[in-house]
């Protein structure tokens, strides 16, 4: 399982504690961890996009620029963890997704113009925690749509809400969500 950690607050992150507790419930899983904060990723700019387009045109997908995309394509299962920020997720996750969405590598087009995903994962898990109540989680909705484009048919959300409503209860809400991991498949409900 490829674990993509976008938990900006590191060891203080509730989202990190939540997904790490989940991983303990599936101990046999071999994980490969990518901590986005440690990668120094930059958004694509005019220069790097032109370089990427040249490499794609030559199908030079063994280039280092595509390392994250190859890793994403080859994973059997993917877990993405990111806190709920500004109705979705931190921009660092968008930058990562920009780097893994590569035409010709993680997705492509048929001759009649249909988009086809090339990623091998059968399932993507999305972990998040929210200060309030998000309603429809636009972060998950976006990740699920992009995953489908990349060929990953199933996406499941594990979202805990209401963590910041009463600071004195934040820990209790998180612990209740962690305790519930053993008894439910996935959740978009309140903690």
Point out which residues bind ligand FMN (CB under 6 A). 7, 9, 13-15, 83-87, 129-132, 134, 163-164
Q: Which is nearer to ligand FMN, 96 or 107 (CB)?
A: 96
The nearer residue to ligand FMN, 30 or 86, going by C-beta atoms, is 86
CB 137 within 8 A of CB 170: no
- Min separation Cβ 155 and ligand FMN, Å: 20
**Which CA distances in Å does 71 have to 117, 138, 141, 188?**
15, 25, 23, 28
Number of H helices, E strands in the chain: 6, 7
Which residue has its beta carbon closest to ligand FMN?
Answer: 131
| Cα–Cα distance for residue pair 5/89, rounded to 1 Å | 12
Task: Check residue 25 and report its DSSP letter.
Answer: H
Quickly list H helices, the chain.
14-25, 46-57, 67-74, 91-100, 138-149, 170-180
Closer residue to ligand FMN (CB): 87 or 145: 87
* Cβ-based nearer residue to ligand FMN, 86 or 136: 86
Tell me the two tokens of residue 124. 């993507």
CB of residue 144 to ligand FMN, shortest distance in Å: 19
Minimum separation from the CB atom of position 87 to ligand FMN (A): 5
CB of 172 to ligand FMN, least distance (A): 13
């Amino acid at each position: 399982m490829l674990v993509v950690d976008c938990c900006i607050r590191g060891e203080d992150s509730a989202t990190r504690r939540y997904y790490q507790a989940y991983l303990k419930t599936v101990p046999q899983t071999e994980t490969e961890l990518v901590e986005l904060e440690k990668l120094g990723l930059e958004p694509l700019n005019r220069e790097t996009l032109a370089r990427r387009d040249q490499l794609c045109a030559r199908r030079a997908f063994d280039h280092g620029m595509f390392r994250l995309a190859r890793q994403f394509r080859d994973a059997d299962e993917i877990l993405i963890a990111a806190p709920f920020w500004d109705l979705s997720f931190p921009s660092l996750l968008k930058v990562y997704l920009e780097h893994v969405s590569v035409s010709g590598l993680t997705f492509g087009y048929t001759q009649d113009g249909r988009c086809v995903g090339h990623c091998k994962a059968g399932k993507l898990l999305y972990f998040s925690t929210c200060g309030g109540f998000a309603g429809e989680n636009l972060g998950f909705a976006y990740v699920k749509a992009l995953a489908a484009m990349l060929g990953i048919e199933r996406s499941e959300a594990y979202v805990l809400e209401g963590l910041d409503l009463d600071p004195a209860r934040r820990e209790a809400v998180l612990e209740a969500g962690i305790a519930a991991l053993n008894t439910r498949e996935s959740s978009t409900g309140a903690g």
